[in-house]
């Protein structure tokens, strides 16, 4: 069933959208996808800590190398397992690329903190895209919503209130991502590898899930208010 706004644009009934939990799970790859994305980073952090206790300071590069090998091996194993089970591999491939680049940087410099540099760079790029989309009045979160919850339709572009709401949500995402960069960038400059690894895990999937919760809740509330208002 569809509903017609006062501008004559047909929109999907918000109650007919897939359940929120299902939508969020799809975007995060489900519980398994979220776990698989976090495991290589967790392995790197734990291996580096444990081997760092075993090897003296002058052999810290040895601990780093084994941590890189362990995390890369796990990431490759996850991708192979998904292929063998004929499951979607895009989450595993994305994670594998990030792990490989981070591992190369850390191996080349001998600094564990460089393992996390690709994630910081990617976040900076995301901030640029988010802010730029607001400036050209095409808020990125609105297009994200169109793809994941509105059947690819961009009817929200015809509704000034929704454009404003999506612009505000996009600004929220940009601010949260900027906080990530400040925290993780500060830890990188201070060469606090363990703390940076923990921050990477905490400010990864859990933070993204929180942004999804806020976004879906706000947009659904606005759409229901519009549906309930007199035509």
The tens digit of pLDDT for each residue in 20-36 reads 444 544 554 555 666 67
Q: Does residue 192 contact residue 135 with C-beta atoms inside 8 Å? A: no
**Counting beta carbons within 10 angstroms of the beta carbon of residue 160, is it exposed (0 to 12), middle (13 to 18) or buried (19 or more)?**
exposed
Measured distance CA(97)–CA(76) in Å, rounded: 10
Mark 71-82 as b/e (b = at least 16 C-beta within 10 Å): bbebbeebbeeb
The pLDDT confidence band at residue 11, using thresholds 50, 70 and 90, is very low
Measured between its terminal Cα atoms, the distance across the chain in Å is 17
- What pLDDT was estimated at residue 72? 85
- Best-predicted range by mean pLDDT among 15-19, 32-36, 99-103, 178-182? 178-182
| C-beta atoms surrounding 20 within 10 Å | 14
* Three-class DSSP category at 123: helix
Write down the pLDDT at residue 8.
Answer: 42
Please name which of 161, 162, 142 lies closest in space to residue 152, comparing C-alpha atoms. 142
- List phi, psi (to 5°) of 2: -120, 160
The pLDDT, as a whole number, for residue 32 is 61
- Is residue 53 over pLDDT 70? no
- φ/ψ of 12, rounded to 5, equals -70, 145
The overall pTM is greater than 0.85: no
Query: Which secondary structure element, helix H or strand E, spans residue 3, and what is its range?
Result: strand 2-4
Which pLDDT score is estimated for 94?
67
pLDDT, the chain, mean: 79
More confidently predicted of 3 and 127:
127
Please say if the pLDDT value at position 172 is more than 90.
Answer: yes
């Amino acid at each position: 069933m569809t509903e017609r706004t006062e501008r004559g644009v047909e929109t999907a009934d918000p109650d007919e959208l897939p359940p929120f939990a299902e939508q969020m799970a799809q975007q995060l790859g489900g519980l398994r996808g979220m776990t698989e994305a976090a495991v290589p980073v967790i392995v790197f952090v734990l291996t580096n800590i444990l081997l760092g206790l075993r090897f003296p300071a002058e052999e810290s590069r040895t601990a780093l190398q084994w941590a890189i090998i362990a995390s890369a091996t796990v990431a490759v194993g996850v991708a192979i397992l998904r292929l063998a089970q004929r499951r979607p591999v895009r989450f595993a491939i994305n994670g594998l690329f990030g792990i490989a680049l981070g591992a190369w940087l850390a191996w080349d410099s001998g600094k564990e903190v460089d393992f996390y540099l690709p994630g910081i760079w990617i976040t900076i790029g995301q901030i640029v895209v988010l802010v730029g989309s607001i400036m050209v009045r095409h808020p990125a979160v609105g297009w994200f919503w169109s793809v994941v919850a509105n059947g690819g339709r961009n009817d929200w572009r015809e509704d000034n209130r929704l454009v404003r709401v999506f612009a505000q949500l996009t600004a929220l995402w940009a601010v949260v991502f900027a906080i990530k960069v400040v925290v993780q960038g500060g830890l990188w400059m201070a060469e606090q590898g363990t703390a940076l690894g923990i921050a990477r895990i905490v400010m990864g999937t859990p933070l993204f899930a929180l942004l999804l919760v806020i976004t879906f809740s706000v947009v659904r509330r606005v759409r229901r208010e519009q549906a309930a208002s007199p035509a």
